[in-house]
Structure 1
Amino acid sequence: MESFLGIVIVFAFLAMIYYLLAGLYRTIYNRKTKRGLHRKKALTSFAIFFVALLIIGEDPEDSATSTTTTETPAVVEGTDKTSASSDETAEPQESESQLTKTMDALTKKDESEELFFTLDSTDFDKFNNTVTIVSSTNFPSQSVIDFKLYKEDSDTPTFPKQTSTVENEKNTVTFSTDSSSLLKNGRYEIRATIPVEDNSKSLNSHLYEKFGPLEKFKSEYNTDYLVKKDLHGYTIQELKVGEFIIENELSEEEIKAEEIKEKKKKAVTIPYKELDKNLEPHVGKYVTYTGKIWDISESDNVTEMELEVTKSDWGYNDIIYVYYEGTTEFLEDDIVTVYGELKEGSIEGASFSSIFHFNVLADTVEKPQ
């Protein structure tokens, strides 16, 4: 028995060292497909090693006592001798049986399947602001997967979630949005969420048939990821697909220029008479005006100008006040186009001779196109 346990201890110790090193290697080089499996096998080997040590380290005095009893010359009752011998034999058998059961239970858990995604490729199109991701998985075909994209150190998705269906162990998903969510340089992580529902007409009901109820799923699959029970089954949440880095794509200046470009497409020109009649419903709108500079000044990197915005046969009139952070090349009497947010009006002068100003906080001052 002791020789058997000695062999078990040696092999368990060697297996534990091997799987620890294999898991460490896959962690360092970000190889996820069997990393959890190696970790669990290392734990299994340690458990077997520990149990074997406990058994082999049992107090030898019990065995000595039994031996002394059997060797006593005065045999009064034969049944006592037989009983002592039987007890001595049963004890190691029971210990061996316990070890075998523990090994079988741990091995069964260790061999449970691990669900995974592996990132195959990413393609970032900075001009169309799209990210296309291709991944491999062992989820069966026709499984519907929700993907989310997170910037490093952020719990808020960079893009709205996108849904893809597994085909031949592959997923292809494209994240796309307008310039309000332009991607910046940095590290990004892709995560997958998979609903598993027990209704035959519900989403991914074939997964419920494959995995079974939540308790069965947890017992047969490695679940290092979060699994949440819900009304019609359960959801496998935030399963990591992979990471990628965007470098030298869009600088802060390029992103700002793209954002302004998109905003300019939506800018409106509200006639001066409409503002004069009722300014309130238009405050906060992104507007554009083309007109003649009546007056312009610069101070502390801020440009202020009075812009005549209504063109007539005699020239320009109707002044709007424009405030722009920065300086420009423009001078008095130049014709310019401005883009910016229409702000609350302001009053200048005494009550009997006051002038009401319409104000625009501009982000762009340029020559007319």
Structure 2
Amino acid sequence: MSHHPDGNALRIVFAGTPDFAAESLEALLATRHHVVGVYTQPDRPAGRGRKLTPSPVKRLALEHDLPVEQPTSLKAAEAQRTLAAFEADVMIVVAYGLLLPQAVLDIPRLGCLNVHASLLPRWRGAAPIQRAIEAGDDETGITLMQMDAGLDTGDMLAIRRTPIDAETTGGSLHDRLAALGGETLVAGLEALAAGKLTPTRQPEEGVTYAHKLSKAEGALDFSQSAVALARRVRAFNPWPVAWTRLDDEPLRLWLAEAEMPANHATETLPGTLLEPAADALRVACGERGQEVLRITQLQLPGGKPLETRALLNAQGSRFEPGKRLDSEVNS
């Protein structure tokens, strides 16, 4: 329907909700294609006053005077008619949070494309960014996918990779992948408009599921290895944040690393505070307490996250060697 001189510019409906999705929408708005409508989750209560708050995608859409739809479901015929009325060539879906029934996938001429934050088929599902760090993957990336009715099972159209190293946190990887997602999408759309995107089936091997993160998962079990604990701390920064208890008060752990070499001689109860380093709390961990987790950034109740060095200088006596950290939820 485009009367634009650029005959193969696409009419796009965009569906997404959080900041991660807003980056892709921002990237689309800078292209020659036309975003004709935006779908996002209904406004949710947020903050202390539980005020109804628009999603990052809705805020961006309104800044650009784009029509916004916020259905609670796309199963109803009426919702599907509304979508069809946009006469989109393609629907782009990024962290939208609603299931798209087959009838919806069939509405746009070129179907629905999804920007997914992992190298499919690894980490299908809700929390691919954090699960990749937690599992110790050394790389992840973005898969642009043709959506089908399954959960992240569609054919792959483009893949971009990015490394995960010992400094990567859930937050830093989120931001890197959000930008990479926008780039992958824009390049993919150019190829699509030119008829040059070749779908590739996902391999049957190597499927994993990235289950949703929960606050309860933040509780650390110090009988795990230092390497596993350090990954979990970084994966859960900035949400849900790893935590434990010291003197019955919650201690939130923001940055940590495994100490090398991995073992010290004496068997100790896991969770025991050892002699600190200048810049880190050292905690005995692993099955026999013979490995060491170095905690380099932490947060005391009512405070903000601080470098451990500063806390040791100010309140070193709180972290006396021999004290135990305990993450039992009911202690």
Class of the TM-score when normalised by the shorter of the 2 chains: under 0.3
Larger Rg: 1
Greater relative CO, 1 or 2 (CA 8 Å, sep 6+): 2
Is the helix fraction higher in 1 or 2? 1
TM-score w.r.t. length of structure 1: 0.22
TM-score w.r.t. length of structure 2: 0.23
